[in-house]
A and B are shown apart, each in its own frame.
Chain A
């Protein structure tokens, strides 16, 4: 990518005012490119309409899941463009609104949302700034798989709210040395598995799985109050089989490795790779009742300070090489067609990239329960029912 000199409003204003000190602090990097360009731009900048395009550079503050910041993949790009990244890590999707809502927001330039949180973030909380797609040229119908281009989770009202960049299926992981290959969730109810399974404590994945297992499949996230009670009642036998409610994927991995559990519901597809590193073989299986799809999308918060650099960052994460590298590292799916040939065999085999439509059909991308509703159980009621389930009422 050829570096073209582009000026920001502030720079142009500073240059026109002859304020070189401000100009240099605004962009040190370009001052090194030679006096002639600066002199030319000084003279012409303010008079040419349309040249006032934003520049990239400076610090981008990222808030992502561990490893999803694509730090190693974008190292070269950052150095070339004078971008520094400040990374921090979320531990649940709820951390994101925790940082952005309220009178004490945190200055984040780039973060992500699970597809279920789309309308909640964009409309109810109003924390998403629509994306100017012209600044993310890699996000186009030719290069991106159809299922991830302008899908309903990221694009509505003619507005692009988020840009999907990684996805996967959360499903059942088990240890073949400790149990037979399960084909249905009900296989986990065998008496010999008592105290040998765990449920991961993650709302966006566990709730839809519970809806399937507890006997109201196909209804999530819109479940009536009666159905809500029914499904958690239906989950009770599973609770009795549980050793614990795992706090995270890491927790599940350590329990599988230590032999404390034989199986876990609804977890990350990368777990077998992680346990293999610690010499314990586990397998990933999709029971006949189905599994839960997740997809994470970038978005820039309303409060972002370095938005254009954040958008350029998004653009770069969609290039084939970084896409493949992230998927290989995190054992997830890619959204860019060109990345598929670059995937490890095992990572590629996770999903049928030739027929993604049927992947989406068997494991649809779900939303979350409504925050306010008279007809269906609300998010708040789900939290309460889930807390009661965990308490054992």
Chain B
């Protein structure tokens, strides 16, 4: 029964997304039933629209930069959580969770006030700063449980065997936590790619993709926004796929390597 429920949950989650994707291939501009036919009109329209293409580019820039920073800073936090005890741990937990325990609007206006106070011009930089702020909590939340229970004694053992701290980390800790970190990084990227409520306040003269979708919706709602959404989804899925293939290839190489060693041993 639980299994049936889980299936229902996934269907309910993906059902509406299926229709969104379906209508991106609609041949007419209407987003109502019945459908009139299929075409790639809206994808062509997307790529012909300079505002969409530019904003797609800006979103990619912000997405990659903020994911990079989040992954580095967030991984350090997640690793630190396994080592910390007492109040430093609680303070860290609180500080890194608080930004998402408040409505996005709150962060948006607080940052706007802050940037105004220090006279910082609003550009993609301010957007990136804001995105990192809300990506960090998600990154940490997504990787925390796995990393917090990471057995420090493994690393200690490596050090007892004479490994330098860096080598112990690189050879023992990193391979174990890498898949979790990659998953969390992809999640962070997705958050940046879709953020609109905070971005409205901190963006300058460059629109991100969700902002472009929002303003296009205000003019006329056509399936071009569905196409934009499908393209965004596709680019993130492509990213996931690339990592998956890389991971699979690395594992395979290792297995082959191990088999080769075992082969010579027997």
Q: In the complex, A touching B, CB below 8 Å? A: yes
Q: Interface of A with B (CB < 8 Å)? A: 61-63, 65-67, 69, 71, 86-91, 99, 102-108, 247-251, 253-254, 257-259, 274, 277-280
- Residues of B in contact (CB 8 Å), total 34
Contact indicator B205/A250 (Cβ below 8 Å):
no
Is B117 at the interface (CB under 8 A from chain A)?
yes
- A257: contacting residue among B32, B116, B211, CB under 8 A: B32
Give the shortest distance, in Å, between A313 (CB) and chain B (any CB): 15
Q: How far is the CA of A106 from the CA of B205 in the complex (A)?
A: 6
What are 23 contact pairs spanning A and B, CB under 8 A? A66-B215, A69-B51, A71-B50, A87-B54, A88-B51, A88-B207, A91-B215, A104-B112, A104-B116, A106-B121, A107-B123, A107-B204, A107-B205, A247-B218, A248-B218, A248-B219, A250-B218, A250-B221, A253-B220, A253-B221, A258-B32, A279-B28, A279-B30
A-B contact count (CB 8 A): 100
Is B217 at the interface (CB under 8 A from chain A)?
yes
Most B Cβ at <10 Å: residue of A62, A258, A277, A278: A278
Extra inter-chain contacts (20) besides given A66-B51, A99-B122, A104-B119, CB under 8 Å: A66-B216, A66-B218, A66-B219, A86-B54, A87-B50, A88-B206, A89-B215, A91-B218, A102-B112, A103-B119, A104-B115, A104-B120, A104-B121, A106-B204, A107-B123, A248-B217, A249-B219, A250-B220, A258-B31, A279-B30
Q: How far is the CA of A280 from the CA of B32 in the complex (A)?
A: 11
- B51: contacting residue among A89, A103, A249, A279, CB under 8 A: A89
Q: Which residues of A contact B221 (CB under 8 A)?
A: 250-251, 253-254
Give the shortest distance, in Å, between A86 (CB) and chain B (any CB): 6
Contact indicator B217/A87 (Cβ below 8 Å):
no
Give the shortest distance, in Å, between B6 (CB) and chain A (any CB): 33
Most B Cβ at <10 Å: residue of A65, A69, A106: A106
Most A Cβ at <10 Å: residue of B117, B119, B120, B220: B220
Most A Cβ at <10 Å: residue of B28, B31, B51, B120: B51
Is B29 at the interface (CB under 8 A from chain A)?
yes
Give the shortest distance, in Å, between A256 (CB) and chain B (any CB): 11
Interface string of B193-231 (1 = CB under 8 A from A): 000000000011111000110111111110000000000
Contact indicator A87/B51 (Cβ below 8 Å):
yes
- Residue of A whose beta carbon sits closest to that of B31: A254
Is B245 at the interface (CB under 8 A from chain A)?
no
- Residue of A whose beta carbon sits closest to that of B54: A87
Q: Which residues of B contact A66 (CB under 8 A)?
A: 51, 215-216, 218-219
Q: How far is the CA of A254 from the CA of B32 in the complex (A)?
A: 9
Is B260 at the interface (CB under 8 A from chain A)?
no
User: Given A87-B54, A104-B116, does the pair A251, B217 have CB atoms closer than 8 Å?
Assistant: yes
Contact indicator B117/A103 (Cβ below 8 Å):
yes
Q: How far is the CA of A102 from the CA of B121 in the complex (A)?
A: 10
- Residue of A whose beta carbon sits closest to that of B28: A278
- A250: contacting residue among B112, B122, B216, CB under 8 A: B216
